[in-house]
Chain A
Amino acid sequence: ETGVTQTPRHLVMGMTNKKSLKCEQHLGHNAMYWYKQSAKKPLELMFVYNFKEQTENNSVPSRFSPECPNSSHLFLHLHTLQPEDSALYLCASSRGGAAGANVLTFGAGSRLTVL
């Protein structure tokens, strides 16, 4: 596979469930991102990992827990979510580092519905 792959593409969960979103990139990039896309809102940056280290947490509630075990994989662990957390969650990657130029390659997203 090439590019950025996100699984699952669709997820429905109750407020008491625990689930995880997975992102994998095959581009040799060193930075990975989670974005949230809600209806009628701009894309919101949630987390940034640069060389596996978290460099940005954009005041995201603790019910969202990211994990970046290596530069190719990024997870978003979800627990006790609220209905307002229903959104499209987009993963992206880029070269990162000081020489990075912020051209992000996005996955197709995971559509999350919280009941």
Chain B
Amino acid sequence: DIVMTQSPLSLSVSPGEPASISCRSSQSLLHSNGHNYLDWYLQKPGQPPQLLIYLGSDRASGVPDRFSGSGSGTDFTLKISRVEAEDVGVYYCMQALQTPRFGQGTKLEIK
């Protein structure tokens, strides 16, 4: 099984400041088709998770462009260029190359 490890597990960011979350997989998520099967989800308080990024760097429909995903192979990063109050919640990376598996989650709070 592919294990997903996120860091940090929590972060506190002032509004308007950038934020970055790292996700590492125990095996490469790069498929022979050239795509990295890595998603990012945000779970806001009291809500189900919502898709932010798929295939490592593609923004889902309706996701603000302040969210971006990057990386390849085993190392991936989610960046928020300017954090807003509505971005609070828990961010999960998830590998989709094999049967889906999530990282532990990173809790984002606003200072």
A interacts with B: no
